[in-house]
Amino acid sequence: MLDRNPPTTSPTEAASRRVFRSKVDHLRPTYGFEDVSLAPGVNTVEPSDVDLSQSFAGIPLDVPIIAAAMDAVVDARFAGALARLGGLAVLNLEGVQARYDDPDAVLARIASAPDEGVRDLLAEAYAAPVREELIARRIEEIRAAGSRAAVAATPAAARRFGPFCAEHGADLFLVQSQVSSARHLASGYDPLELADFTRFMPIPVAVGNTTNAEAAFALMEQGAVAVFVGVGPGAACTTREVLGIGVPQVTAVSDVAGARDAYFIETGRYVPVVADGGMRRGGEIAKAIAAGADAVMLGSPLARAEEAPGRGTNWGMAAPSLTLPRGTRIRVGTLGSLERILFGPAHATDGSENLVGALRQSMAALGARTIREMQQVEIVHAPSVQTEGKSWQQRGR
């Protein structure tokens, strides 16, 4: 028989037994480059014995350096220069190179525009339509400069430009968006189905960007030959401020690298991970690879090269938006030749020059002869490692 008069509980007693769950109580610690350091181990090796080469999506690289698909960084001339130094440049298919017969004139206007007028100028420059004949011409120019042709487009444009680029000699197609996911929901249009796209594309398809291990694993399952990692860490990107989205790069790269390793164990197919953004110094590149990256994508550090088309400036691809720009033009200055930036000799003491030399020296000191061995070195939480004992340096700066 049911008890229709159960014991009563006072509001005070009931409240004392309630359990409230707060997201803040379950915050996951995450780490950026400034939070960690690399710990020396038992062995060291000679720097000359360090091997930085790899096959990236079928493209041989002598150094793990990829130039970002940014208009101020990559054109055909720059792609050829980087290829001669052992790296790879990615051309933005939706940038000025594919909109204008003479993109240099447009780039010069953007570089020289006053700060208060540059946003409108960017919007105007990117209002011109993308022309397929210019895409074909740029691919031909890149190959004539001695480089493999790697190109990038947003998911909305990938279906249109992907097969066209493959037919005209592209070697790698990067589907790149602010946040890449395994499944995109949209009611107003038919979103790109990555699995179908990678299946019918006759050239390798890489995908970015993500910070999530589960999403990265799904992208690999759908045929991605490489996964790019990073949401908002770039110097010219303001996504983290405007949208509040992002995961510090060391944690993001480590999470996605874990997905890569799990996928390799299950399938036997190795999918390279590329740390994209947030690296300005050699030490940060070393930390990115130690966190699990196979290569790094650089924008602003390479925009400082004499060969870069941005004339000492750089801007994010989301900057042209009139309603919600998530990138800004920044002045990075022109430091010197691309070779000096990557291989020295360095004239600065902050690690922003001779990036490849710094990576090689770091690997040698940690006993890592290859990229894969560098991914196994110990990383420690050390938020004060850059300032410990450096008070005189800090005052001097």
- Which residues does the annotation mark as catalytic? 237, 331
- The residue with tokens 């109580």 is 25
CA distances from 362 to 50, 205, 290, 347, 393 (A): 10, 31, 10, 19, 21
Q: Which residues of 53-89 are buried (b: 16+ CB within 10 A; e: fewer)?
A: ebebbebebebbbbbbbbbbbbbbbbbbbbbebbbbb
**Sign (positive or negative) of CA dihedral 252, 181, 171, 128:** negative
Which residues, at least 6 apart from 332, have a Cβ–Cβ distance to it below 8 Å? 235, 300, 303, 304, 310, 312, 313, 314
CB 249 within 8 A of CB 288: yes
The answer to whether 300 and 278 have CB atoms below 8 angstroms apart is no
CA 274 – CA 261 distance, rounded (Å): 14
Three-state DSSP state, 197? helix
Cα–Cα distance between 99 and 264 in angstroms, integer?
A: 40
